[in-house]
Amino acid sequence: MCELLGMECNVPTDIVFSFAGLTARGGRKGPHADGWGLALYEGKAARTFMEPAAAADSPLAIFLRNHPIKTLLAIAHVRKRTRGHVSLSNTHPFCRELFGRHFVFAHNGTVKDVRRFALGRFQPIGTTDSERAFCALLHKLERRFKTYPSSKRAFFAAVSEMGAEIGQKGTFNFLLGDGEHLFARCATKLHHIIRRAPFRQATLADDDFRIDFSEVTTPSDRVAVVATMPLTSDEEWTVGTPGTMWVFGDGKLKATLQSR
């Protein structure tokens, strides 16, 4: 199984601390050595960095840790191959245009019988069930909405409903970003934390890295972090309920929906 990492904030923030914890699991503290990727939004557009190699040994991953890029929304992934060979085309996160903006997607698990879903104009580049499921999800959204949805309630409900339908056969833990929101569906295992004032110190569970967030934040900052497993050893993370989906925006948990 792969591991997911998402961050959504109310002010531009770098993901260096959490990304360091994730990359440690990408071949050094965990078996997820078959590729890694990081997508950082700037408005409606996302810049992506990916390699079909272990994140723990990657000069590019180290470069990104040493040269932080601040963002309001980020999605990262370390891969342990289940379907599809190790290649750049099979490396998460995947990115496509819909409604004039980038949608970014990363998946943990296996989606069975995914070929039963229509894809429309969204065609996979690689051979994973994950990318095909992403294409199917976007096609469903494009058929449901002609433009970017003005009703957030309808939009959130649609992603939750479609995630449940696609994930009915298999395991469909995923992160989805649209430049404004971070969707996090829990099929089996997912956790989140929202860091806000009063900020305190935190220590990575898989790396000798500690930070005092009170020294790098303001009292009005809010940062939501989602991960497959908690990244820190001295913070309290919220455990996801299988068959539910979280939606984060502006550094807050905007909604928790049923997705089964």
- E strand intervals along the chain: 3-13, 36-42, 45-51, 71-78, 94-98, 101-108, 173-177, 182-186, 191-196, 201-203, 210-212, 222-227, 238-239, 244-249, 252-258
The answer to whether the beta carbons of residues 17 and 195 sit under 8 Å apart is no
Q: Which of 2, 9, 95, 186 is catalytic?
A: 2
2 given a catalytic annotation: yes
194-228 as b/e, with b when 16 or more CB fall inside 10 Å?
Answer: bbbeebeebebbbbebebebeeebeeebbbbbbbb
Q: Work out the angle between the directed axes of helices 59-66 and 16-24 (0-180°, nearest 10).
A: 160
Active site residues: 2
